[in-house]
Chain A
Amino acid sequence: DADVTQTPRNRITKTGKRIMLECSQTKGHDRMYWYRQDPGLGLRLIYYSFDVKDINKGEISDGYSVSRQAQAKFSLSLESAIPNQTALYFCATSDSGRGRNQETQYFGPGTRLLVL
């Protein structure tokens, strides 16, 4: 969905390096999410934020941190990257309202991360 953008799209880094993945949205949604996708494991939630002052851990938050800089921006950081963080990372947004888009998540195109 072009309304949710992620940068970079691809990244190669070395073990121990700090990296940041960024997500921006123009949908005006209040909720934002970070997931990682690994083959055979589906999507697993890393962190989520229901508004600018609300940050919550997901299933697999260890080794990651996030920052909600504004309603439209939600960044994911790997403080010291390790090889098992090699994965495809997705940002998603949703609206807390109860209209026809209730509970629907809209995904960015993903960031493919390789940690050597």
Chain B
Amino acid sequence: KNEVEQSPQNLTAQEGEFITINCSYSVGISALHWLQQHPGGGIVSLFMLSSGKKKHGRLIATINIQEKHSSLHITASHPRDSAVYICAVSSGGSNYKLTFGKGTLLTVNP
């Protein structure tokens, strides 16, 4: 079973700061996912990646397959970025099951 660890568990930042959230996993994967969950809200997929780097607006996700590690960066953070960010991995196979990290609670203060 893949173990997914996220750090930090909680993160508080000032508006405009550069944010990094880390994710590591224990076993080879077919894809890594970054998800966002606003307080009391649903879960939205931000990125799915299996190599390299992806960028969407102020969000950047990177993955290092050899080191079994991924990072999610937020540039010029804003209070609306406050949410729980969840890392999940899929290990292949025919059922596409995901294993989730416990999430990182990000609070961005104005």
Chains A and B bind each other: no
